Amino acid sequence: MEGDMDMNQEVKLAKNYDPKEFEDRLYKWWEEEGFFTPKVDKDKKPYSIMMPPPNITGQLHLGHALDNTLQDILIRTKRMQGYSTLWLPGEDHASIATEVRVEKAIIEEGLDKKEMGREAFLERVWQWTDQYRNRIRTQLKKVGVSADFTREAFTMDENLSKAVRKVFVKLYEEGLIYQGNRITNWCPNCMTAISDAEIEHEEHEGHFWHIKYPVKDSDVTLEIATTRPETLLGDTAVAVNPADERYGHLVGKTLILPLVGREIPIVADDYVDLEFGTGAVKITPAHDPNDFQVGKRHNLPEIIVMNEDGTIAEGYGRYSGMDRYEARKAMVADLEEQGLLVKVKDHSHNVGTHDRCKTVIEPMISKQWYVKMDTLAEPARKAVREKQTKFVPERFEKTYFNWMDNIQDWCISRQLWWGHRIPVWYCKDCDEIIVSMEDPTHCSKCNSENIEQDKDVLDTWFSSALWPFSTLGWPDKTEDLDYFYPTSTLVTGYDIIFFWVARMIFSGIHNMGDVPFDNVLIHGIVRASDGRKMSKSLDNGVDPLEVIEKYGADALRFSLTTGNAPGNDIRYYEERVESARNFANKIWNASRFVMMNLDKEIMNKYKDSKNYTIADKWILSRMNDVVKEVTENIEKFELGIATQKVYEFMWNEFCDWYIELVKPVFFSDDEEAKGVAYNVLYTVLTTGLKLLHPVMPYITEEIFLNLETGDKSITISSWPEFCEELKNEQVEKEMALVIEAIKSIRNVRAEMNVPNSRKAKLFILATEGAEAFEGGKIYFEKLASASEVILINAKEEAPENAVAAVTKGAEIFMPILDLVDVEKEIERLNKEKEKLAKEIERVEKKLSNERFVSKAPEAVVNEEKEKEKKYREMYASVIERIESLQ
Ligand SMILES: [Zn+2]
Ligand SMILES: [Zn+2]
Question: For residue range 750-773, what is the model confidence (pLDDT) as tens digits?
Answer: 877 888 888 889 999 998 878 889
Q: Which ligand is nearest to the CA of 452?
A: 2
Q: What whole-number distance in Å separates Cα of residue 620 and Cα of residue 728?
A: 9
Task: Tell me the torsion sign for CA atoms 75, 78, 80, 85.
Answer: negative
Higher pLDDT, 375 or 822: 375
Enclosing H/E stretch for 252: none
Q: Which ligand is nearest to the CA of 434?
A: 2
- Average the pLDDT over 335-361 and give the result: 92
Q: What whole-number distance in Å separates Cα of residue 220 and Cα of residue 217?
A: 9
Tell me which residue of 360, 339, 365, 338 sits closest to 349, measured CA to CA. 360
Q: Which ligand is nearest to the CA of 440?
A: 2
Task: Tell me the torsion sign for CA atoms 157, 160, 166, 170.
Answer: negative
Label residue 89 by pLDDT band (50, 70, 90).
very high
Q: Which ligand is nearest to the CA of 416?
A: 1
Reduced to 3 states, what is the DSSP secondary structure of residue 696?
Answer: coil
Q: Is pLDDT of 361 > 90?
A: yes
Omega of the bond prior to 363 within 30 degrees of 0, cis?
no
How far does the centroid of ligand 2 lie from the alpha carbon of residue 193, in Å?
28
User: Could you tell me how far CA 760 lies from the centroid of its own chain?
Assistant: 54
Please give the torsion angle defined by the CA atoms of residues 830, 834, 837 and 842, in that order, rounded to the nearest 10 degrees.
-160
Label residue 707 by pLDDT band (50, 70, 90).
very high
Q: What whole-number distance in Å separates Cα of residue 572 and Cα of residue 552?
A: 16
Q: Which ligand is nearest to the CA of 447?
A: 2
Q: How many residues does the chain have?
A: 886
How far does the centroid of ligand 1 lie from the alpha carbon of residue 206, in Å?
21
- Average the pLDDT over 583-600 and give the result: 95
- Average the pLDDT over 88-113 and give the result: 92
With a pLDDT cut of 90, the percent of the chain lying above it is: 76
How far does the centroid of ligand 1 lie from the alpha carbon of residue 365, in Å?
17
pLDDT digits (tens, 9 = 90+) for 200-212: 988 889 999 999 9
How far does the centroid of ligand 2 lie from the alpha carbon of residue 426, in Å?
8
Q: Which ligand is nearest to the CA of 443?
A: 2
Q: Which ligand is nearest to the CA of 186?
A: 1
How far does the centroid of ligand 1 lie from the alpha carbon of residue 233, in Å?
24
How far does the centroid of ligand 1 lie from the alpha carbon of residue 98, in Å?
12
How far does the centroid of ligand 2 lie from the alpha carbon of residue 444, in Å?
7
3-state secondary structure 290-318: HHHHHHHHHCCCCCCCECCCCEECCCCHH
Label residue 29 by pLDDT band (50, 70, 90).
very high
Cβ neighbours of 24 (radius 10 Å): 14
Q: Which residues place a Cβ less than 5 A from the ion ligand 2?
A: 427, 429-430, 432, 443, 445-446, 448
Label residue 855 by pLDDT band (50, 70, 90).
confident
Higher pLDDT, 527 or 827: 527
How far does the centroid of ligand 2 lie from the alpha carbon of residue 435, in Å?
13
Phi, psi of 727 (to 5 degrees): -70, 125
How far does the centroid of ligand 2 lie from the alpha carbon of residue 172, in Å?
19
Q: Is pLDDT of 461 > 90?
A: yes
Q: Which ligand is nearest to the CA of 444?
A: 2
Label residue 5 by pLDDT band (50, 70, 90).
very low
Label residue 182 by pLDDT band (50, 70, 90).
confident
How far does the centroid of ligand 2 lie from the alpha carbon of residue 756, in Å?
98
Q: Is pLDDT of 7 > 80?
A: no
Q: How large is the C-alpha radius of gyration of the chain?
A: 37
Q: Which ligand is nearest to the CA of 358?
A: 1
How far does the centroid of ligand 2 lie from the alpha carbon of residue 430, in Å?
4
If 0-12 CB within 10 Å is exposed, 13-18 middle and 19+ buried, where does residue 419 land?
buried
Strands 517-523 and 487-493: parallel
Tell me which residue of 544, 542, 541, 500 sits closest to 522, measured CA to CA. 500
Least confident of 24-38, 96-110, 120-134, 314-328: 96-110
Label residue 810 by pLDDT band (50, 70, 90).
confident
Q: Is pLDDT of 8 > 70?
A: no
How far does the centroid of ligand 1 lie from the alpha carbon of residue 537, in Å?
18
Q: Which ligand is nearest to the CA of 354?
A: 1
Strands 433-435 and 424-427: antiparallel
How far does the centroid of ligand 2 lie from the alpha carbon of residue 421, in Å?
21
Strand partners, 47: 85
pLDDT digits (tens, 9 = 90+) for 624-663: 999 999 999 999 999 999 999 999 999 999 999 999 999 8
- Average the pLDDT over 112-129 and give the result: 94
